[in-house]
């Protein structure tokens, strides 16, 4: 019978035999690939590069895509209804119907039988983690203007422009950063990752295997990460033509009860589109200048329910919000060039206007307007805001279609 000392030597030798090569390999990989997170410049230059990337991928086609189905690494299958903000997640004998707006509404099925046991929330959380991770490998370029995302322009050692994207919130691991490397047209070819799940910072994964889907959206089918391959298979997309109604607007002039303002009636315009109704109310000052209040409602069971602007839009509204603010900034720059307006423009500090701070009105001929108020004194009323109007068809992909359209 072996002596205890010899047994310990055998066990210790086995541990060294199996762990030492692993440790040496990890050390080699660490010193070969590990990189510090680069620094970059936030602001317009970074946003311009991000928009160039989206243009190269035809972002409009992706936004118009309502449904995406795919299999990730032959392990997890997804049926993602973007319009409804839901996803069916499948693995092994488990199916989870994820409600991405409120995960408490999600349902779990084990071998096709509804499961409501003590592990239900664990299954839901696992499905959500799978969704966050696997869909990111599918649509990450389209998420650069999501809420909580910081964008920075980085100049690489080769002198090329790269886009550093940091997710400060959302997902399963907020704080992760990705450095996008682009071709001359702005199309992604790879990204480097500084993420919580990986022990080595700066590892690079390919983004070169693109396919054009049925809806025109460009999506990847494969990524290479070191010697690993990440396959995306069974890819299907579809969209629906939802725009099935027209705006209906009515105007009314209400007599002013103030005798001094008798010649200035209250102006009310009500416009309906689908289940949504915008009401703008104009009241005159004693100088005859009209000031408008904007309210948004949804019609349910013969009742008008007040809603926030953001309640009308899906989770891609941050991109449209960025476009509107860009137009507002451009308008401000034009005002700055007019010497006669110097007093007023000196009082104006441009800031980002969230969608809920804007006024929204539907317009005749199937249009929608976003009204921004700059908060200037009455002496500057002539430039105290901007209006940004779009055809509804042009921005239909931003709406919560299951509520908005007939």
Domain at 121, CATH number: 2.50.20
Distance CA 72, CA 135 (A): 9
In a domain, 214, yes or no: yes
Residues 282-288, mean pLDDT to the nearest whole number: 86
Residues 90-101, mean pLDDT to the nearest whole number: 96
Closest CA to 370 of 390, 384, 393, 341: 390
In a domain, 287, yes or no: yes
Angle CA(292)–CA(398)–CA(234) in degrees, nearest 5?
A: 175
In a domain, 5, yes or no: no
Range scoring the smallest mean pLDDT among 242-246, 252-256, 299-303? 242-246
pTM (two decimals): 0.62
Among 207, 238, 269, residue at a domain's last position: 238
3-state secondary structure of 216: coil
In a domain, 16, yes or no: no
Q: pLDDT at position 33, please? A: 64
7: tokens are 């047994």
pLDDT tens readout for residues 338-363:
988 888 888 888 889 999 999 999 99
Evaluate if residue 10 carries a pLDDT over 50.
no
Looking at the fold, whether 90 and 169 belong to one and the same domain comes out as yes
In a domain, 341, yes or no: yes
Residues 62-90, mean pLDDT to the nearest whole number: 94
Confidence tier at 16 by pLDDT (50, 70, 90): very low
Rounded to an integer, what is the distance from CA 176 to the centroid of its chain? 16
> Over the chain, what is the mean pLDDT?
87
Residues 157-184, mean pLDDT to the nearest whole number: 90
In a domain, 276, yes or no: yes
- In degrees to the nearest 10, what's the CA dihedral of 395, 400, 401, 405? -90
Residues 81-93, mean pLDDT to the nearest whole number: 93
Percent of residues, the chain, with pLDDT higher than 90: 57
Q: pLDDT at position 241, please? A: 58
Looking at the fold, whether 200 and 294 belong to one and the same domain comes out as no
Looking at the fold, whether 217 and 320 belong to one and the same domain comes out as no
Q: pLDDT at position 20, please? A: 46
Looking at the fold, whether 231 and 265 belong to one and the same domain comes out as no
Evaluate if residue 381 carries a pLDDT over 90.
no
Q: pLDDT at position 302, please? A: 72
Evaluate if residue 83 carries a pLDDT over 50.
yes
Looking at the fold, whether 219 and 76 belong to one and the same domain comes out as yes
Looking at the fold, whether 252 and 209 belong to one and the same domain comes out as no
Q: pLDDT at position 336, please? A: 87
Q: How many domains does the chain have?
A: 2
Looking at the fold, whether 60 and 193 belong to one and the same domain comes out as yes
Among 213, 238, 263, residue at a domain's last position: 238
Residues 186-215, mean pLDDT to the nearest whole number: 93
Q: pLDDT at position 195, please? A: 92
Q: For 140, which DSSP code?
A: G
Residues 8-29, mean pLDDT to the nearest whole number: 49
Confidence tier at 267 by pLDDT (50, 70, 90): very high
pLDDT tens readout for residues 26-54:
455 555 567 889 999 999 999 999 999 99
Residues 281-295, mean pLDDT to the nearest whole number: 89
In a domain, 24, yes or no: no
Which residue range forms the structural domain that includes residue 89? Answer: 41-238
Distance CA 141, CA 268 (A): 43
Looking at the fold, whether 123 and 203 belong to one and the same domain comes out as yes
Looking at the fold, whether 186 and 269 belong to one and the same domain comes out as no
Looking at the fold, whether 195 and 90 belong to one and the same domain comes out as yes
Range scoring the smallest mean pLDDT among 42-56, 91-105, 277-291? 277-291
In a domain, 13, yes or no: no
Evaluate if residue 173 carries a pLDDT over 80.
no
Among 238, 267, 294, residue at a domain's last position: 238
Evaluate if residue 323 carries a pLDDT over 60.
yes
Q: Give the chain's largest Cα–Cα span.
A: 113
Looking at the fold, whether 274 and 352 belong to one and the same domain comes out as yes
Looking at the fold, whether 159 and 276 belong to one and the same domain comes out as no
Q: pLDDT at position 403, please? A: 47
114: tokens are 């509804």
Evaluate if residue 124 carries a pLDDT over 60.
yes
């Amino acid at each position: 019978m072996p002596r205890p000392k010899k047994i310990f030597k055998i066990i210790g030798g086995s541990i060294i035999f199996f762990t030492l090569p692993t440790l040496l390999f990890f050390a080699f990989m660490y010193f070969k690939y590990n990189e510090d997170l680069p620094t970059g410049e936030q602001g317009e230059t970074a946003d311009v590069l991000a928009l160039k990337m989206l243009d190269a991928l035809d972002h409009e086609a992706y936004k118009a895509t309502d449904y995406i189905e795919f299999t990730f690494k032959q392990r997890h299958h997804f049926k993602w209804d973007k319009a409804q903000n839901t996803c069916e997640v499948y693995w092994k004998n488990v199916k989870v119907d994820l409600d991405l707006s409120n995960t408490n509404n999600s349902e779990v099925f084990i071998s096709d039988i509804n499961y409501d046991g003590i592990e239900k929330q664990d299954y839901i959380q696992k499905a959500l983690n799978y969704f966050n991770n696997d869909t990111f490998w599918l649509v990450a370029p389209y998420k650069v203007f999501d809420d909580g995302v910081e964008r920075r322009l980085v100049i690489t050692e080769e002198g090329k422009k790269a886009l550093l994207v940091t997710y400060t919130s959302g997902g399963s691991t907020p704080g992760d950063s990705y450095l996008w490397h682009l071709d001359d047209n702005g199309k992604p070819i790879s990204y480097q990752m500084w993420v919580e799940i990986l022990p080595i910072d700066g590892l690079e994964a390919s983004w070169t295997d693109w396919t054009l889907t049925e809806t025109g959206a460009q999506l990847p089918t494969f990524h290479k990460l070191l010697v690993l391959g990440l396959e995306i298979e069974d890819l299907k997309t579809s969209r629906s033509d939802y725009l099935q109604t027209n705006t209906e607007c009515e105007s009314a002039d209400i007599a002013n009860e103030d005798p001094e303002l008798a010649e200035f009636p209250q102006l009310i315009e009500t416009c309906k589109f689908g289940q949504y109704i915008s009401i703008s109310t104009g009241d005159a000052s004693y100088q005859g200048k009209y000031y408008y209040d904007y309210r948004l409602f949804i019609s349910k069971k013969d009742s008008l329910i007040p809603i926030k602007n953001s309640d009308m839009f899906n989770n891609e509204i941050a991109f449209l919000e960025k476009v509107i603010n860009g137009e507002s900034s451009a308008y401000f720059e034009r005002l700055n060039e007019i010497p006669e307006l110097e007093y007023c423009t000196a009082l104006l500090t441009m800031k980002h206007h969230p969608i809920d701070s804007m006024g929204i009105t539907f317009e005749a001929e199937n249009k929608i307007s976003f009204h921004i108020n700059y908060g200037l004194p009455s002496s500057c009323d002539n430039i105290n805001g901007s209006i940004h109007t779009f055809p509804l068809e042009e921005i239909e992909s931003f709406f919560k279609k299951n509520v908005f359209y007939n």
